Amino acid sequence: MMPFYFQDYKKMSIAYRPSHADATYDMKYGVRAVQGGGRSSARETIGRVASGAIAKKILKQFSGTEVLAYVSQVQQVLLPDGSVDHDTVTLDQIESNIVRCPNPEYAEKMIAAIDAVRIRGDSVGGVVTCIVRNAPRGLGSPVFDKLEAELAKAVMSVPASKGFELGSGFSGAFLTGSEHNDEFYTDEHGRIRTRTNRSGGIQGGISNGEIINMRVAFKPTPAISRKQHTVTREKKEIELLVHGRHDPCVAPRAVPVVEAMVALVLVDQLMAQYAQCNLFPINAELQEPLSLGFPNFEPAMI
């Protein structure tokens, strides 16, 4: 019932919820939406997902480009490396369970992990992996606006995100150059490819046509139903116990948001590349047409 929800938020309004935006909004603006968090609520991501849906259609139609994300970790439950085939994984597989993990066995483990904390009124963190198949070559800029920089900004603006990796990411820091470098070869269609993809589909800030793959870390939902110490606006220390209906793990819900942000970045970059390098191609032999890069793909129209 409405009054009940209202009361929930009213109680919280006197105190800064730990690890929420309550305190920083007050520090910045001197005012905040005490009921529901306003702009700091992840409800705002609906606009991202709606526009991302259009972006995904454009990418699909123009160059057969697909953006797919899935949950690859919930707390201690990690999908083993290689357990998802990025060449073939489908939206249906991802959407086949509530936790949005394409591996049914691990999906069950993740659901169990979430349930375990949910009944205690607690929450857990997780990781979302996102891939882009058939990304046109040439997207991104050389210096400040590298494609990975644009992607990092886009996904690090998603509520609760704490980390971003491209390709080898932090694990690449453990390797040597001879282990990490992606050697080039020419494939059966005469396209220049790399045998490995530790670069994550981007080299020198520019997409190289391999699968772009990223991982995004999400912290445990800060909204928990357990007693916490905090302070009020008036700086008085109090104990806070919030009753509410919150997601115990944001990762599954972040999946379409991450996809949307990635798709929006790619359409932006596609438009920039189209205007910058397709209006007057300099060297047609080196510069593949944006939409014709992928064997077996028939572009919708040019």
Residues 46-65 contacting its own copies, CB under 8 A: 58, 61-62
Closest CA to 265 of 194, 202, 171, 172: 202
Is position 103 an interface residue for its own copies (rule: CB under 8 A)? no
Given the complex with its own copies, which of 66 and 182 has the nearer CB atom? Answer: 182
Residue whose entry in the numeric block shows the structure tokens 């302070």: 231
Given the complex with its own copies, which of 81 and 92 has the nearer CB atom? Answer: 81
- Rounded to whole angstroms, the Cα distance separating 155 from 135 reads 18
Minimum distance from residue 158 beta carbon to its own copies (Å): 9
* 236-295 residues near its own copies, rule: CB under 8 A: 236-237, 270-288
* 117-146 residues near its own copies, rule: CB under 8 A: 117, 122-127, 137-138, 140, 142-146
- Rounded to whole angstroms, the Cα distance separating 253 from 258 reads 9
**Which of 85, 190, 245, 296 lies at the binding interface for its own copies (CB under 8 A)?**
190
HEC per residue, 189-228:
CCCEEECCCCCCCEECCEECCCCEEEEEEECCCCCCCCCE
Is position 198 an interface residue for its own copies (rule: CB under 8 A)? yes
Is position 154 an interface residue for its own copies (rule: CB under 8 A)? yes
Given the complex with its own copies, which of 83 and 196 has the nearer CB atom? Answer: 196
Minimum distance from residue 215 beta carbon to its own copies (Å): 8
**Which of 218, 252, 258, 294 lies at the binding interface for its own copies (CB under 8 A)?**
218
**Which of 3, 80, 82, 177 lies at the binding interface for its own copies (CB under 8 A)?**
177
- Rounded to whole angstroms, the Cα distance separating 110 from 79 reads 10
Amino acid residing at 23: A
**Which of 69, 182, 212, 252 lies at the binding interface for its own copies (CB under 8 A)?**
182
CA distances for 56 relative to 1, 45, 49, 60, 258, angstroms: 37, 16, 10, 6, 12
Is position 90 an interface residue for its own copies (rule: CB under 8 A)? no
**Which of 13, 19, 51, 96 lies at the binding interface for its own copies (CB under 8 A)?**
19
Could you tell me if 205 and 142 are in contact, meaning their C-beta atoms sit under 8 angstroms apart?
A: yes
- The stretch among 3-11, 20-28, 83-91, 101-109 that binds its own copies (CB under 8 A) is 20-28
Closest CA to 141 of 20, 276, 27: 276
Number of residues that bind its own copies (CB under 8 A): 126
**Which of 93, 103, 168, 213 lies at the binding interface for its own copies (CB under 8 A)?**
168
Minimum distance from residue 16 beta carbon to its own copies (Å): 5
**Which of 76, 92, 119, 296 lies at the binding interface for its own copies (CB under 8 A)?**
76
Residue whose entry in the numeric block shows the structure tokens 């994550």: 200
Tally of CA atoms within 13 A in the half-sphere of 175 that contains its CB: 14
Residues 247-277, buried b or exposed e (16+ Cβ, 10 A)?
bbbbbbbbbbbbbbbbbbbbbebbeebbeee
Is position 14 an interface residue for its own copies (rule: CB under 8 A)? no
Is position 228 an interface residue for its own copies (rule: CB under 8 A)? yes
Minimum distance from residue 85 beta carbon to its own copies (Å): 23
Minimum distance from residue 56 beta carbon to its own copies (Å): 14
Could you tell me if 141 and 290 are in contact, meaning their C-beta atoms sit under 8 angstroms apart?
A: no
> What would the two tokens of residue 187 be?
């494939």
